[in-house]
Structure formats: C-alpha cells, structure tokens
Structure 1
C-alpha cells in the first residue's frame, strides 16, 4: 500500500510540475527575430533589451548580426528575421520588390559616411569646384582616372556617385575597386587606391590613421538614412508586434537624447564590445554618438508626413537604384500605432 501511495504521489507531483512548466511556457513572451549590422543603429535596440523593455512590450528581442546590408536583406527570403535595420540602398532594393516595408529611421549616417584621401593628395587642394557644394574637395582634373576603393551597391557607393556627379563626372570616368570597408582600409594603408569611401566606424579609423575627408555624404547631397524595415508578410499579419517593437526602440532613442553623457559613452563602449567583439575608446564612442543624429517618434511622424523630407531622400535613392519611385511600401502606419 505504501508503494502504491508513493507511486500515486510521484505521479501527482509529475503532473503538477508539468502543469507549472506549461504555464511558464505559456507566460513566456514570444521571440521577435531582428536583424542588424555591427553599427550605431543597433545601440537603441541593445540598450532597450539590456533594460528589459522588450519584455515590457510583450516580446523577447533576438538580435542577429549580419556583416553587410546585402547579406541582411538576403535573409528575408529565408524568413530569418521579422524586423531589421540597414542602409537605404539595400533596403530599397527589397522594398521595390515588395518584400519589405519601411517603418522608421534608425539614424542619419550622412555625417559619418564619406570619401577619404591621404593628406598629400592633390584632390584635397581642389575645394570649391562646385558652388552648390562649397565644402566638397576635388575637381575633374584631380579625380578623373583615379582608383576609388568602395563597396559597390552600398551607401558609400551612392556617396561616390553623387560626388562624381557634383564634379561633372560619372563612375565611368574613374576606376572603382569593389572592396569591403575593413579590407579596403587595410589596402589603402598599404598605398593602394587614390581615395576610399565607407562609413563609420571605418571613417573614424581613417581619421585616426591620418586620412583626410574629401567629402562627407551631407556635403554632396547624398542623404543616408538608416532605415528600420519590416518583413512585409510578417507586418501584414502582426502589425501590433511591429508597433510594439517601435515603441521599445523609441524608448532607446529617447535615452540617447537624455541620458547623462558620460554614462551613455560607457554604455556605448560596452555595447560595441559585446555586439562587435571590438574595443572602442571613449573618444571614438563620443564620435560615434555625435556623428549619428537620431530622431524621436514625434520627429519621425513629421519626417514621414507630406511636409517631411524623408520621401525626397528616398525618391533620390530609388532613382539612383533604378526604381520606379512609387515607394508604396513606405508607411507611417506603425509609427502612428506606436504613438497611441
């Protein structure tokens, strides 16, 4: 009888433990898979996840890192992520194919994406060729035929094209060598190429090595918004989840605006170490924060509106990409949901 009672007790305990496990599983928020590059725009999401803001919003944020925008966008077809962030050019390629919706702006990289030359380059002496861009260096005579190290199809490539256009040239007037930023900077340091184009943190590294900016994107009409994008089928099925993510993300943006400076720099250093596996000095962290303007929810609602400038940026980029400029998958619907 004792053994029978014991077996009954153990069975009841097993059922109870199973019920507890089921309840715990039922209470666990669902995972939201997101895709990022090893760059500044991931900071607001990381910052919020560190503080548990994702769980407060009803989900568990999973952050996957990709080496490039092209590879990040390729993950859509394999349904590897639901929400992501990357440069406008790779994002627009997918938007124009109706695979993505543009739902927000991560930051503005126009101040941290640019073209650099060695300090003795004659290109740097030719400033003012185009009065419309008075800070832009270079002239047809100093640039034509030169070799430019640049990732083709990237935001840096768009900057190169706009720079050349401002000089009355085109990509056919120069030699474009397609390299990723890390490999390109190493090659440039060895003396290869005449100028190099890329984005942060490589622009800061170039300055640390003594290179000088020929032009930054904001100085040659090459707007560089980093876009928050949603997998279109996911967004259609789960609009409330997209809005919840945006609400959490904008809490991070608000913190970037209001947190004490020294604390924010330390947080950014830790983010950079954990997210990229590399160390960042306090000076470099401050540079990253200064060179990446961010926009609050209210500011982005205005940017997406009829009087906002986001659509003009995107039309120019879509035209460069060869799109039809309709951009029907640019929407402020999720921003409005997040604002409620």
Structure 2
C-alpha cells in the first residue's frame, strides 16, 4: 500500500510539474479559418512543434470568413495575436485593424471558383473571350441571374473579375449573402443559379449539382492568403512571432516535400472540426490546389531591392487597386476600407528572417 501511495504521489508531482512548466510557456493566440492554412497550423500544433520551440500555441479554428476576423479584432484587439485571411477582406474590411502582413500562407486561386447549376445556360458558351478559352459564360446567360456569396471576400472578387470578361459588373447580377449557417445546408434549401466559393465549401457545392464556370487561376488572378500579426504584439515579441512562423513553415514544407503523407490528416481535420468527410482524392486535389512557397523563397519575395518595392509589395498593390475597382459598386455596411492601403509599410519581412534559425531547429 505504501509503495502504491508513493508511486501515486510521484505521478501527481510529475503531472503538476508538467502543468506548471506548460503554464510558464509564453502564449501565442492564433485565430485561423477552417481552410487549408488552418489545417497547416493545426497539423503543426498536433506535432507539438510549438512546445519544442518553447511556446504555447493557443489555436482557434473558425468556420466564418476573413471579414468576420477583421470585425473581431476591431471589437477587441486582444482577441488574437496572429491570423490569416485573404487580401480582399483585409483591404475592404480592415479599417482600424493595426496588423502587419508577415508571410504568405498560400495562393488559392485554383481553389476559388464561380459555380453555376450544371444545367445552366452559362455552360452553353465557352471561350466567349479568346483570351480566356476555358471560361464559360456569355452576357445573355449571366445578366440578371442570382449568385450567393459569403460577403466581401475573394469569392466575390473572383465573381467580379469573371463578369468583366463579358462587359458586366456586380450590378448586372443579383447578389444574395449566405446566412451565417452551413453553406451546404443553405445550397440544399435554395437552388441559387450560381455562387462564388472557395474550398472546402466549393466541394460541397460541386456535390450538390453545381459546376465550375471559372476559377480565379483561369482568370490569371493570384489569391494570396497572408499571415498577419497584431502590430503591437509583433513589435513586443519578435522572437515569439518568428517561432510561430517556423512551426507553420515546417508543416508547409512537408506539403512541398511529401504532400501524400498529409492526406489522412487533412481528412481528419475536416471531419473533426467541420463534421465533413471528403475522399482522399478530393483532399489531395485541394492540397495541390493551394500553391505554397518555401520559407527561403519567401524571405527573398519580401526583400526590397534597393529603392524598389519587393515582390510581395507589388502583388498587394496591384491586388488592392483591382479590388477597389471591382468592388466599388457594392453597397454594404461590411465595407470598411483599411486606412493602411496608402502605404505598404504594413508589409514586414523581418519575422521571416528571424524564423529561419528556429525552422532549422525543427
């Protein structure tokens, strides 16, 4: 009995020591979306890489969109330290959101699409514009149709760019905003003529009888999803931010080196967090549809060349201009244009450089 008690006390002491040790680790609050980049950081946490580098990743995976994350920050800047969204909601909804863009999570142009019901007249015409031979649609088949969208997003930006091919704008179609519910359930209840979606909702729509009219990639667009840090948190904790990037890029590098090995975990991610089951084929396709860029390359992309803008600054500048043009006709209270777009000083590559030493430790 005494031996049992001794062992029990020893186990309790070990557990208490572990708890205290964990409690002492500095914390990073990250709020990501239920999308590809959310999977990468979820995977990194699952491997325990944050603990290996001496910090505690407090990760929240959200089912809503990037615009909601911007609103969340405006209401309470302490709600997260690091997040990741597409560029469109940051520009159109980022007013008073004091963050810096510190890395590229992916380019999801191949996973962002305009879809329509597969029996739509839209699919009777392909190659209306000779410069876009694979794109479906014509002015007559599109004008006046109803498209469901997730508010101000990369999806509606892609819709707007598609309409431009036919000399149309967002005012030439009827836009309906998805309610804050499961999009798959909403598409089952209401057969909208079309929608503008990205994965994983895109795959749900395809299951329900929708077909891709165009992808953002076919339009020659880049849809960057960028990692952002609260400016004050980043300046106060540069090494901690660098460690966060290191664990993210460790998962990203695995996708580059051995994407097949991540398929089962990708399935698990969506099953556990969204209650959705996707085949191995769909998961592999989606991973491949998210173009990722290695850490060493990104350090170069964020580097200013003399007095010239960096590659990432030029990309964000062009996308900002295009976004403002395409979405200027939208009448919505959701639009609160970022007061940072006049200067690109919010793009900061220093954390990538700092992350390199920690990346090499993993």
TM-score by shorter chain over 0.5: yes
Counterpart residue number, 2:300: 302
Using the TM superposition, name which of 97-106 and 33-42 deviates more.
97-106
SS of corresponding position for 1:219: coil
Counterpart residue number, 1:76: 73
Among 30, 34, 45, the alignment partner of 1:38 is 34
The CA RMSD measured in Å over matched residues stands at 2.7
Counterpart residue number, 1:127: 126
Q: How far apart, in 1, do the equivalents of 2:274 and 2:38 lie?
A: 11
Q: Offset at 1:92?
A: 2.9
Gaps of 5+ in 2: 1-12, 325-336, 358-362
After superposition, give the CA deviation of every residue in 1:43-87 in whole Å (9 maximum; x if it has no partner).
Answer: 221121111110112211111122221222223231111011112
Structure 1 position 292 matched with structure 2 position 309: no
Using the TM superposition, name which of 103-112 and 317-326 deviates more.
317-326
Q: How far apart, in 1, do the equivalents of 2:19 and 2:184 lie?
A: 53
Counterpart residue number, 1:148: 147
After superposition, give the CA deviation of every residue in 1:227-271 in whole Å (9 maximum; x if it has no partner).
Answer: 11101111121111111111111111111122361x321121122
Q: How far apart, in 1, do the equivalents of 2:85 and 2:222 lie?
A: 14
After superposition, give the CA deviation of every residue in 1:90-144 in whole Å (9 maximum; x if it has no partner).
Answer: 2234666451110111111111110111222111122222233222211222211
Q: Offset at 1:38?
A: 0.9
Q: How far apart, in 2, do the equivalents of 1:188 and 1:260 lie?
A: 31
Q: How far apart, in 2, do the equivalents of 1:115 and 1:181 lie?
A: 20
Within a 5 Å distance, the mapping from 1:78-97 to structure 2 comes to 78=76, 79-93=78-92, 97=96
SS of corresponding position for 1:176: strand
Is contact 2:85–2:227 with CA below 8 Å preserved after alignment? Answer: yes
Counterpart residue number, 2:274: 276
Compute the TM-score of the two structures, normalised by the length of structure 1: 0.85
Within a 5 Å distance, the mapping from 1:1-340 to structure 2 comes to 24-25=20-21, 28-66=24-62, 67-77=64-74, 78=76, 79-93=78-92, 97=96, 99-179=98-178, 185-190=184-189, 192-259=191-258, 261=260, 263-306=261-304, 309-319=311-321, 320-321=323-324, 324-340=341-357
Q: How far apart, in 2, do the equivalents of 1:258 and 1:31 lie?
A: 29
Q: How far apart, in 1, do the equivalents of 2:134 and 2:347 lie?
A: 32
Is contact 2:22–2:56 with CA below 8 Å preserved after alignment? Answer: no
Q: How far apart, in 2, do the equivalents of 1:80 and 1:258 lie?
A: 34
Counterpart residue number, 2:333: none
After superposition, give the CA deviation of every residue in 1:158-200 in whole Å (9 maximum; x if it has no partner).
Answer: 1111111222111111111111596555454456332111110
Q: How far apart, in 2, do the equivalents of 1:182 and 1:246 lie?
A: 32
Compute the TM-score of the two structures, normalised by the length of structure 2: 0.80
Gaps of 5+ in 1: 1-16
Change (3 A) 1:177 1:95: closer
Using the TM superposition, name which of 84-93 and 154-163 deviates more.
84-93
Q: How far apart, in 2, do the equivalents of 1:108 and 1:141 lie?
A: 32
Q: How far apart, in 1, do the equivalents of 2:217 and 2:71 lie?
A: 28
Change (3 A) 1:165 1:182: farther
Counterpart residue number, 1:8: none
